[in-house]
């Protein structure tokens, strides 16, 4: 039958409309979240930390939607530790961070997964040790859940079925006008399109289920994989209905056009709903993905269709001469398509492999090699042989079945590789150069960290560590103090930032006297505390008791100096970490120092660490929840004042910032404990008010009138210790009421003398 020009035009417009609809619906799902790889983490995999991290930061090669990145933290003994995602930028980002509670000494593994919006899952694990080496531990992760594994298996099965359907559609489109083979194939178009619709809807459903299982929430329902494959499934279903109507009834007429349209919709729509839009260069990735998949289907499908038709009664009913004629009619259509398809598959396959080469390793490489061997050693030689000998065929030769089997195996292996997704231009090449420099450990400019929504702790750790290594500890401390003045994050976390510098200095500087011979008093001497904490972690448990009495001798020149105190205070922090934050195990170790000034200095660090540990979810066993005076009411009487000098940070935190309520707890104790509590409130209020005199006075006035001046005294001391200078304390003492001025100035001068002593 000769088709009229009007009919041809209608078909062309119909094809164009369906293809454009597939494109549009697949793109309606919104921006693509990349399939990615982990290029860096803080802590790094295999790293030994002297202390528990506040957060774990993952940096990916390409941007991901943070809603689709989940993590589970486990210790080596299998205990699951709860982590919380930190809020960051809206939209895609390369940096995702998780808040971590205080971790006891052990080896830990953070099992992370990133789910692309087409439902593709990428997994990994970061191993690190707190106070211990990772050693021979290779994994502590629990792995994917049974449901996740089942969904991944279903996704692979549906992807294989999808490729086979595409191949069969291509086969019908190519041989659909070739005599008996075409007649048989055309009668199957409706069922084949319906099968394609079911598989497409299944792939969309699996993508939805994977995203829901990963906790993606509403994103799962609007993701590209869910919406894109649903759209393709609906279009193929409509085509199936139309094709079935054309082949039904006494005046049935059919053409292979619906198969061609279905192939275009499936290849283009399926590519857009899959990985390609996740790439750094999506236009190129989509183009080559469509060409590669379409060519593979066009090479495999016609041969499969001919082999299947050869098993039907209609074919077997032909005599030998008619079979030969029918076979040659099919081959005349198949051979040019196979030749061009082979060329396209080869060219695009080489490009895709080259672009993904940096992500290819292990099992991925093995499957890729097997696939290449099957194609090059089986399919290509047999294809060439069949091309040369086709004129002598009287029936489909058995070697054609071997070629078809090789092509199907290649399709299956391709489906496996797509599931693993080794990547497309992976690595740090797509990252901002400044971010890449931070990841490489070469950046020495902390101002790079200011604009980061998440991961600033890791960024400051990296850049300041580089400054430490290249310019020394004083330069690193000065850089942190400079950042404190311009970045609210550093202002709020200054002690921890310089604490990290101290941790790193313990690894880079061997001589304790050299490491402590700096002005490290800024940010409540966090540098000294971090250095001592890390150095203490290097001592074995068996040798600890013998080493404690002389541990700070290198910092005791002059004795009882601020540096000497900071060494002992840091020792208290470190001892708390050694005993997993059990205060009543740490304090007896401080007692081993014998001289009471040494004991008190060590205990002050233990008391501060007790507060910090509680704020991070780890605290002394048996802590009562209704008595905020604990543990100060249970420690030895000679250390209760030192305990109260730290306890208000705990009280304010537990009361959610209720300062009047905190003062009431101070008023519930007597004598020196009450004085210490008010002075401790002054220290905390000074930090809360950012050293602003009016803010300090207004908040200290919330306490009892007869004790508020002690709060001012504590604030004046803190102003000196926080800045290592007198200006902020001078401003405070000048602003207070006249009868408080003298006491304020005494506290200021005592703090200045301590700092000046070194």
DSSP character string of 168-210: HHHHHHHHTTSHHHHHHHHTTHHHHHHHHHHHHHHHHHHHHHH
Would 263 be classed as within a structural domain?
yes
Q: What is the mean pLDDT of residues 431-443?
A: 58
pLDDT for 258:
84
Indicate if 248 and 270 belong to the same structural domain.
Answer: yes
pLDDT tens for each residue of 95-140 = 888 888 878 888 888 888 887 666 667 777 888 888 777 766 666 6
Indicate if 132 and 203 belong to the same structural domain.
Answer: no
Would 232 be classed as within a structural domain?
yes
Would 486 be classed as within a structural domain?
no
Percent of the chain at pLDDT exceeding 90 = 19
pLDDT for 544:
83
CB 263 within 8 A of CB 196: no
Cis status, amide bond into 631, omega within 30 of 0: yes
Indicate if 225 and 160 belong to the same structural domain.
Answer: yes
Would 582 be classed as within a structural domain?
no
Indicate if 110 and 183 belong to the same structural domain.
Answer: no
Please give the Cα distance from 527 to 532 (Å, whole number).
9
Sorted by sequence, the CB contacts under 8 Å of residue 747 that are 6+ apart come out as 712, 713, 714, 716, 717
Give the per-residue SS3 of 81-124: ECCEECCCCCCCEEEEEEECCCCCCEEEEEEEEEECCCCCEEEE
Q: Which structural domain, as residue segments, surrounds residue 730?
A: 632-758
pLDDT over threshold 50, residue 251: no
pLDDT for 684:
92
Please give the Cα distance from 59 to 139 (Å, whole number).
20
Least confident of 8-12, 394-398, 464-468, 533-537: 8-12
Domain end (from 370, 387, 420):
420
The CA-CA-CA angle for residues 28, 30, 33, to 5°, reads 135
Q: Which DSSP helix (H) or strand (E) runs through 292?
A: helix 282-309
Domain end (from 92, 112, 137):
137
pLDDT for 427:
41
pLDDT for 8:
39
pLDDT tens for each residue of 709-758 = 999 999 999 998 888 789 999 999 999 999 899 999 999 999 888 777 66
Q: What is the CATH number of the domain that holds 133?
A: 2.60.40.1220
Would 509 be classed as within a structural domain?
no
Would 128 be classed as within a structural domain?
yes
pLDDT over threshold 90, residue 708: yes
Longest dimension (CA), the chain: 121
Indicate if 72 and 218 belong to the same structural domain.
Answer: no
Indicate if 118 and 235 belong to the same structural domain.
Answer: no
Indicate if 88 and 128 belong to the same structural domain.
Answer: yes
pLDDT tens for each residue of 438-483 = 555 667 788 888 876 556 677 788 888 889 989 999 999 999 989 9
Domain end (from 100, 115, 137):
137
Least confident of 420-434, 457-471, 591-605: 420-434
pLDDT over threshold 60, residue 30: no
pLDDT tens for each residue of 355-408 = 665 555 566 677 778 888 888 888 888 888 877 877 777 777 788 888 889 888
Burial 620-646 (b: 16+ CB within 10 A, else e): beeeeeeebbbbbbebeeebbbbbbbb
Place 19 in a pLDDT band, splitting at 50, 70 and 90.
Answer: very low
Least confident of 335-349, 594-608, 664-678, 693-707: 335-349
Least confident of 16-25, 136-145, 670-679, 721-730: 16-25
pLDDT over threshold 70, residue 643: yes
Please give the Cα distance from 697 to 707 (Å, whole number).
13
pLDDT over threshold 50, residue 271: yes
Phi, psi angles (nearest 5°) of residue 236: -65, -35
Number of domain units in the chain: 3
pLDDT for 455:
60
**DSSP assignment of 353-376, as one string?**
HHHTGGG--HHHHHHHHHHHHHII
pLDDT over threshold 70, residue 436: no
Indicate if 79 and 181 belong to the same structural domain.
Answer: no
pLDDT for 25:
37
pLDDT for 253:
53
Least confident of 55-64, 427-436, 699-708: 427-436
Indicate if 71 and 210 belong to the same structural domain.
Answer: no
CB 472 within 8 A of CB 479: no
pLDDT for 734:
94
Please give the Cα distance from 595 to 609 (Å, whole number).
22
pLDDT over threshold 60, residue 35: no
Would 532 be classed as within a structural domain?
no
pLDDT over threshold 80, residue 614: no
Indicate if 128 and 181 belong to the same structural domain.
Answer: no
The mean pLDDT value of the chain amounts to: 79
Would 758 be classed as within a structural domain?
yes
More confident residue, 143 or 425: 143
Indicate if 302 and 406 belong to the same structural domain.
Answer: yes
pLDDT for 305:
84
Cis status, amide bond into 371, omega within 30 of 0: no
pTM for this prediction: 0.55
Place 676 in a pLDDT band, splitting at 50, 70 and 90.
Answer: very high
- Which range scores top for mean pLDDT: 146-160, 602-616, 632-646? 632-646
Indicate if 59 and 186 belong to the same structural domain.
Answer: no
Place 335 in a pLDDT band, splitting at 50, 70 and 90.
Answer: confident
CB 599 within 8 A of CB 593: yes
pLDDT tens for each residue of 274-326 = 777 766 677 887 888 888 888 888 888 888 888 888 888 887 788 878 878 87
Give the per-residue SS3 of 8-26: HHHHHHHHHHHHHHHHHHH
């Amino acid at each position: 039958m000769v088709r009229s020009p009007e009919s041809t035009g209608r078909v062309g417009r119909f094809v164009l409309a369906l293809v454009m609809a597939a494109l549009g619906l697949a793109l309606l799902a919104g921006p693509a979240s990349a399939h990615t790889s982990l290029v860096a983490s803080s802590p790094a995999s295999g790293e030994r930390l002297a202390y528990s991290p506040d957060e774990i930061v993952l940096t990916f090669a390409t941007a991901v939607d943070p809603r689709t990145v989940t993590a589970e933290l486990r210790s080596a003994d299998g205990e699951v530790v709860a982590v919380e995602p930190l809020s960051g930028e809206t939209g895609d980002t390369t940096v995702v961070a998780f808040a971590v509670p205080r971790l006891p000494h052990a080896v830990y593994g953070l099992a992370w997964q990133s789910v692309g919006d087409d439902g593709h899952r990428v997994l990994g694990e970061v191993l690190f040790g707190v106070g211990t080496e990772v050693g021979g531990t290779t994994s502590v992760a629990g792995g994917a859940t049974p449901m996740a594994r089942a969904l991944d298996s279903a996704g692979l099965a549906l992807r294989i079925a999808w490729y086979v359907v595409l191949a069969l559609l291509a086969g019908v489109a190519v041989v659909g006008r070739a005599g008996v083979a075409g007649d048989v194939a055309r009668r199957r178009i409706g069922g084949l399109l319906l099968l394609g619709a079911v598989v497409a809807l299944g792939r969309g459903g699996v993508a939805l289920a994977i995203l829901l299982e990963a906790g993606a929430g509403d994103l799962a329902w609007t993701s590209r994989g869910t919406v894109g494959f649903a759209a393709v499934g609906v279009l193929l279903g409509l085509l199936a209905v139309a094709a079935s109507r054309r082949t039904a009834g006494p005046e049935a007429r059919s053409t292979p056009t619906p198969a061609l349209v279905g192939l275009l919709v499936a290849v283009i729509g399926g590519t857009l709903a899959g990985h390609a839009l996740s790439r750094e260069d999506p236009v190129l990735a989509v183009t080559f993905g469509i060409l590669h998949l379409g060519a593979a289907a066009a090479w495999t499908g016609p041969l499969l269709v001919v082999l299947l038709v050869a098993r039907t009664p209609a074919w077997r009913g032909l005599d030998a001469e008619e079979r030969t004629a029918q076979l040659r009619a099919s081959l005349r259509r198949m051979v040019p398509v196979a030749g061009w398809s082979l060329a396209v598959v080869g060219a695009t396959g080489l490009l895709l492999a080259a672009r993904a080469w940096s992500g290819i390793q292990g099992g991925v490489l093995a499957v890729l090699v097997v696939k290449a061997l099957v194609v090059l050693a089986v399919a290509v030689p047999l294809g060439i042989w069949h091309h040369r000998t086709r004129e002598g065929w009287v029936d489909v030769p058995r070697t054609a079945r071997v070629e078809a089997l090789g092509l199907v195996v290649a399709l299956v292996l391709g489906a496996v590789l797509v599931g693993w997704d080794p990547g497309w231009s992976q690595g740090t090449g797509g990252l901002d150069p400044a971010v890449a420099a931070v990841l490489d450990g070469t950046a020495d400019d902390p101002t790079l960290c200011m604009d980061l929504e998440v991961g600033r702790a890791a960024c400051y750790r990296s850049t300041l560590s580089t400054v430490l290594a290249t310019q020394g500890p004083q330069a690193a401390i000065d850089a942190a103090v400079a950042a404190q003045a311009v970045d609210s994050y550093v202002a709020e976390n200054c002690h921890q930032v310089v604490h990290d510098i101290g941790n790193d200095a313990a690894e880079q500087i061997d001589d304790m006297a050299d490491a402590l011979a700096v002005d490290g008093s800024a940010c409540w001497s966090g540098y000294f505390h971090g250095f001592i904490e890390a150095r203490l972690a290097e001592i074995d448990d068996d040798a600890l008791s013998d080493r404690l009495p002389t541990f700070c001798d290198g910092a005791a020149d002059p004795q009882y100096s601020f540096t000497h105190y900071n060494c002992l205070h840091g020792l208290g922090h470190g001892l708390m970490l050694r005993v997993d934050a059990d205060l009543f195990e740490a304090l007896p170790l401080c007692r081993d120092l014998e001289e009471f000034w040494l004991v008190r200095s060590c205990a002050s660090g233990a008391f501060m660490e007790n507060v910090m540990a509680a704020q991070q979810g780890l605290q002394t066993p048996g802590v009562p929840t209704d008595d905020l005076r604990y543990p100060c009411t249970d420690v030895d009487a000679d250390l209760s004042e030192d305990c109260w000098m730290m306890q208000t940070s705990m009280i304010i935190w537990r009361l959610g910032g209720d300062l009047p309520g905190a003062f009431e707890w101070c008023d519930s104790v007597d004598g020196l404990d009450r004085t210490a509590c008010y002075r401790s409130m002054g220290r905390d209020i000074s930090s809360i008010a950012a050293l602003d005199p009016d803010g300090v006075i207004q908040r200290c006035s919330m306490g009892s009138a007869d004790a508020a001046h002690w709060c001012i005294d504590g604030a004046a001391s803190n102003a000196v210790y926080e800045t290592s200078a007198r200006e902020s304390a001078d401003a405070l003492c000048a602003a207070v009421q006249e009868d408080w001025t003298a006491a304020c100035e005494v506290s200021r001068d005592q703090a200045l003398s301590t700092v000046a002593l070194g």
